[in-house]
Amino acid sequence: MKSFKHYLTESEVKTLSLRGLFVRKPWSQYLLNGVKTEETRTYSIEKFHLNDQWLWLLETPKAKAIGIIKFNGETQYKSRDEFYSHVAMKKHMVQPDGAFEWVKPKYGWIVSEIIKIKTPFIPEDYTANRIFTSTITSEVELI
């Protein structure tokens, strides 16, 4: 399967209608820059049918769209030791004494693709819960 970016010409503006996923800063930046390769949650990616779906990457606390992201699969962490192993921590970057400590179960959604947008924006007119948003439509230039 070809990536989304494969279908774009350089500096092409696209109108995208996607749901958005909230991720706190600095983890949002780690994802955007490819340092963090798993987004951790306390529920499976399948719960909201987000596997293999493009989503706006919304950086909180302002819910600023900074890119688009797609996940393909997940790692289920069944124990605290497994979650905080050296290998796992390099993927999700969650520290034992940090804001997102171990809560059983934990899932690491595996990032398959991420694309930055040229001009980040704060979307308007959407509904949201603490996890993700309704569809947000915007014209963006991907880089």
User: The CATH number of the domain where 101 resides is what?
Assistant: 2.30.130.30
pLDDT for the residue 9? 53
**114 domain-assigned:** yes
In a domain, 8, yes or no: no
Task: Say how many domains are in the chain.
Answer: 1
In a domain, 4, yes or no: no
> 132 vs 49, 71, 128, CA distance in Å?
12, 14, 6
CA 59 vs. chain centroid, Å, equals 9
For the chain (length 143 residues), average pLDDT per consecutive 10?
52 85 95 96 93 95 95 95 92 84 87 95 85 85 83
**Domain for residue 5, yes or no?**
no
Residue 65 placed within a domain = yes
Terminal-to-terminal C-alpha distance of the chain: 20
Q: Residue 33 falls within a domain, yes or no?
A: yes
Place of tokens 């989503």: 55
Contact 68, 14 (CB under 8 A): no
The amino acid sitting at 123 is P
pLDDT of amino acid 10: 53
Is 6 domain-assigned?
no
Task: Give the Cα-Cα-Cα angle 54, 57, 62 (nearest 5 degrees).
Answer: 150
Question: Which residue(s) pair with 115 in the sheet?
Answer: 68
Residue 101 lies in domain: 17-141
Within a domain: 3? no
